[in-house]
Structure 1
Amino acid sequence: MVKNLQQSITGLKLLWSKCSPTSLMVLRFSSYGTNSGTLASSSAAQKEKDDLYQRLLPYAPSTVSMTPIINQWVREGKTVEYAVLKKAIKQLRAYRRFKHALQIYEWIDNSKHLRITPGDVAVRLDLISKAHGLEAAEEYFASIPDNLRSSYVYGALLNCYADAKSLMKAEGTMQKMRDLGNTDLVTYNVMMNLYAKMGDLEKLQSLVQEMEDKGIAGNVISYTIRLNAYVSVPDVKEMEKLLMKMEEDSLLIDWNAYAVTANGYMKAGDVEKASKVLRKCELLGKGKNARVANESMLCLYASMGKKNDVYRIWKKLKNRGKVYSSSYLSMISGLEKLDDIDGAEKIFAEWEVKEVYFDARIPNLLIAVYCRKGHLEKAESIIERLLESGKRPNYRTWDRLALGYYSHNQMEKAVETLKKAILASMPLRTPNIHSWAPCIDYFQSNGDTVRAEEIKRLLKERGMFSAG
């Protein structure tokens, strides 16, 4: 399972992949400042702010527009404040509801009281890229007046190219920013991360040298990018050299650096050094970082086969008080690596007893574990318990079971379960291709075109399958 560690440092967001500590997934520009815009006086009651915000936030399919919600608010004679819309846009971005966030911007465009800022343009460019793709973002960028093409906007464009791993266009944008004098630490971090993802350590090192020549000091993200790059090789010598440099500055070293280094040693086959580094990781993984640090260490110790340490870290997590879903997911994943299925079952039982709110990811994970191990009856029993307790399995629940049936050559059950997965899914949320593609092949190879077409029809209705 995947866990995201998010650190907002110098306008960037670092995403950490839970059981792959070296995975520096993506670097993003944070929300850009747009405080100068206003649609109405800020003297409106706080209650009105919260009411409009709450109307915009509840989940709705992407086909449902945000515009009528704001229009209804206006018809009620209430004040619309830009600060409220900005807050809603920020939260919708966090929820990955990019089209809904764009619809709010479209409503703002149609109003006549907003002074558009470069920050608004940058955020919108980012949203367009995520909602409609890189080509649409480029078209929008081409329409932006020169007076609004600030460093924020070029930075957002650079980030769009970096996300898409469009190396030549990213390099071209970076050069344009150099020519305009708009480069800063954030842009260098984005480019370094892109080179790291592309495996081009030579260009990454060239960028580091350029930063040094310009007197641009790196931050913890800069060093973490480089550390991840060395671990990916793995280049233990360069990794150790960089870690020593980070240890000289308390602002550059954190638990994450030691976790990444531990994984580098593991990749190089040096479990002893990995263990020593993880002890340092434990010393720094305290306070507000304790939970995510301990969850990561669960996975690392499990990968090293250190069962006692896994349970020791789990005890530390429990002693902190509330145990979060992400901690249960980390522990069950770790115990699967250790082939401790009995232990995973006990952790799941603890979650069932203490469950405050239902998180389908936890039973789904154990169902997947059972299916991988061939314990299909146990997987079925979890779903039965969910149904008996009034909980609704989601499409991933059925999808995991369908894949289990397919993997163990129970095709009829796989097909029926796949149908449940499709019917329980949301538009564009696709069951695993490894579960539905074999089902279609199974029917076609047995001459049962009727049922093959039925599966295709269900998939097409939810935008999951095209004839091409």
Structure 2
Amino acid sequence: MFALSKVVRRSQSLRLGACNAVYYSKLEVPLRERNGSVESNALIHDKHEAFSSSYELPWSYSTGRRSLSSDAGARSSGEEDGLQSEEELSCDEADIDGAELELLSEAGKSPGSKRSSELFKAIVSVSGLSVASALDKWVEEGKEINRTEIANAMLQLRRRRMYGRALQLAEWLEEHKQYELEERDYASRLDLIAKVRGLYKGELYVERIPESFRGELVYRTLLANYASTSNVRKAEAVFNKMKDLGFPRTSYACDQMLMLYKRVDKKKIADVLSMMEKENLKPTLYTYKILIDAKGATNDISGMEEILETMKSEGVEVDLRAKSIVARHYASAGLKEKAEKVLKEMEGESLVANRYVWKDLLSIYGFLQRADEVSRIWKICEANNPFYKESLAAILAFGKINKVKEAEAVFKKSVKMGHRVSSGMYSVLLRIYVDHKMVSEGKDLVKRMVDSGCNIGALTWDALIRLYVEAGEVEKADASLSKATQLKQIKPLMSSFMYVMDEYARKGDVHNTEKIFQWMRQSGYHSRFRQFQSLIQAYVNAKAPAYGMKDRMKADNVFPNRGLAILLANADPFKKTPLSDLLD
């Protein structure tokens, strides 16, 4: 059973199968050494059968199917002021999750929905988050609330990541029974609860959904949220339950698992692909994007190109998002000419007419150190009232090409244009100051940010903590990290912990390195290869024995590679020395 998958594992490559060779034979995803722990060994299964199983790229792409953040963790439950990591800049201006789109009515996906709805304007016009008052007033004025109006308003709120307001809208609708609810209405509210209040609250809400409406869309929504937060155990459980409930396997559900495993355990990709083969599920455009990204992330450029050729031979369009992924991986691999060729394809005959690629071009040309191209594209942006994300991409790009003054000018221009300068824009400028060791400017920017009343999110905390570490003020970095971990609205990024932990490890401060190690666990980060590497380094630098370290690693299912094994041996309290040999 699944003989092909066994061959895949033995050969250390991930092949898609032979039964549907037309689709699968060329789509290989290479294995990477398993450095991290996986939350569960229970793999996806058919109803009565189980499978057996045994710092990253500058960008990770965001897709239209599900905007999956990095292992940074939970989303903010605040009023979504536009926090965007550099990785997230690859999203389309109007991009929202494909999972979310399926929760909206057809009216919400119509061309007219791109225009801001009157109900949306009424909702965002109220102060704070008092959405109910705006809706009550809307009804009192005799204005109609129908599915089309609601769907358009919900779409606009989701596009702007105003999930708190969107959830209040969904709750008001359910409470006031303006129309008969359908499964997608319950699924939409589930998705918003998971985003705003966390998955535990989402699980409780599922139990409240009438059984007749607890269908595939509800479980698919739950699956997508588990996958987006890298909760392997629960994602697998929901994936299996959907099969047990009689729902047919879908490409969407399999794609969610592929995306999840791409991030946490690439070896399991083979299991999903074998299942797709068995279920006769053809790879979707999203499937191809995942595999392209997986290939590129392991620097298997030839494999990535094979997938592109397979797409073309099967008549699957290589869209702009796929081209952006390819260009980014070419750039990361140092293949400048290939990257620029793809960028020119994305630009098309008229850059002015292809506005939706501007931010990607800015970002990638910045990484390629093409100052001339960054300046050229930004000049076009300036002449056409730049969008928020275009300005954000320009700040990052100018930072990459060491033009700090130009980055500051874009920031100031955004302020003058009346843009709501969110913590996202502050954080990227702060990161540039950190990169260029402009400590005083960074501190002044943080003070300005606080004075403006702008919410400080995970990215800004991350930049601030790194700023203090770079300035040699690890105690202040520690205090900032401690404060960030105590906030309920955010979850500090893994990198925030690692900046401080690595600095303590460098100093040989075992006590504080262990403290940060425990903080990470308490914040929901599983102890993996990277954390143990820093922790063991602290013991080595302190010339202190690391008692029980092997058992600790084994308990967390972390297995050392050659480098870590050498480090571990140096911290072994029972290692042999010339003196111990004499004593023996």
Return the TM-score normalized by structure 2: 0.56
Kindly indicate whether the alpha-carbon contact (under 8 Å) linking 1:21 and 1:263 is maintained by their aligned counterparts in 2: no
Contact 2:433 2:439 in 1 (8 A): yes
1:253 and 2:318 are equivalent in the alignment? yes
Unaligned runs of 5+ residues in structure 2 are 1-57, 70-83, 108-115, 501-584
How far apart are residue 117 of structure 1 and its match?
A: 0.5
Code of the residue aligned with 2:359 in structure 1: it is E
Return 181-190 or 358-367, whichever deviates more: 358-367
Alpha-carbon contact 1:262-1:278 (below 8 Å) kept: yes
Q: Does 1:196 align with 2:262?
A: yes
Q: Is the 8 A contact 1:118 1:150 kept in 2?
A: yes
Which of 85, 100, 108 does residue 30 from structure 1 map onto? 100
- Are the counterparts in 2 of residues 302 and 334 from structure 1 also a CA contact under 8 Å? yes
Correspondence for 1:327 among 390, 410, 422: 390
Measured in 2, the distance between the counterparts of 1:259 and 1:69 equals 40
Distance in 1 of aligned mates of 2:177 and 2:391: 50
Establish whether residue 90 from structure 1 lines up as the match of residue 90 from structure 2: no
Q: Please say if residues 119 and 152 of structure 1, whose CA atoms lie closer than 8 Å, have aligned partners that are also in contact.
A: yes
Matched, 1:349 2:409: yes
In structure 2, the residue matched to 1:56 is 123
Question: SS of the counterpart of 2:274?
Answer: helix
What is the TM-score when the length of structure 1 is the normalising length? 0.68
Structure 1 gaps of 5+ residues are 38-48, 439-468
1:253-402 paired onto structure 2 within 5 Å: 253-265=318-330, 267=332, 269=333, 271=334, 273-286=335-348, 290-291=354-355, 293-304=357-368, 307=369, 309-319=370-380, 321-322=383-384, 323-338=386-401, 340=402, 343-349=403-409, 352=412, 355-358=416-419, 359=421, 362=425, 365-376=428-439, 392=452, 394=454
**In the alignment, residue 337 of structure 1 is paired with which amino acid?**
K
Task: Give the aligned CA root-mean-square deviation in angstroms.
Answer: 4.7
Is 1:206 matched with 2:268? no
Q: C-alpha separation between the residues in 2 aligned to 1:145 and 1:284?
A: 47
Give the equivalent residue in structure 2 for 1:147: 212
The one-letter code of the counterpart of 1:164 is: T
Residues 238-260 of structure 1, C-alpha deviations (whole Å, 9 max, x = no match) = 32321221243563313443443
State how far apart, in whole Å, the 1-side matches of 2:59 and 2:185 are: 30
Preserved CA contact (<8 Å) 1:13 1:27: yes
Identity of aligned residues (%): 20
Contact 1:278 1:297 in 2 (8 A): no
Give a deviation string over 1:425-446, Cα, whole Å, max 9, x none.
x9947999979x99xxxxxxxx
Report Cα offsets for 1:169-226 as digits up to 9, x if no partner: 32232233334243322222212111112132x3223322332343332232110111
Amino acid at match of 1:54: K
User: Which structure carries more helix by proportion?
Assistant: 1
Amino acid at match of 1:327: E
- Counterpart of 2:146, as a letter, is E
Contact 1:298/1:330 (CA < 8 Å) preserved in 2?
yes
Residue-by-residue CA offset, 1:119-146 (whole Å, 9 max, x unaligned): 1111111112122222222222123233
**Local SS of the residue matching 1:57:** helix
Counterpart secondary structure, 1:215: coil
Q: Once the two structures are superposed, what CA deviation does each residue of 1:42-91 show, in whole Å capped at 9, x if it has no partner?
A: xxxxxxx9654432223644xx4423333344445554434433433333
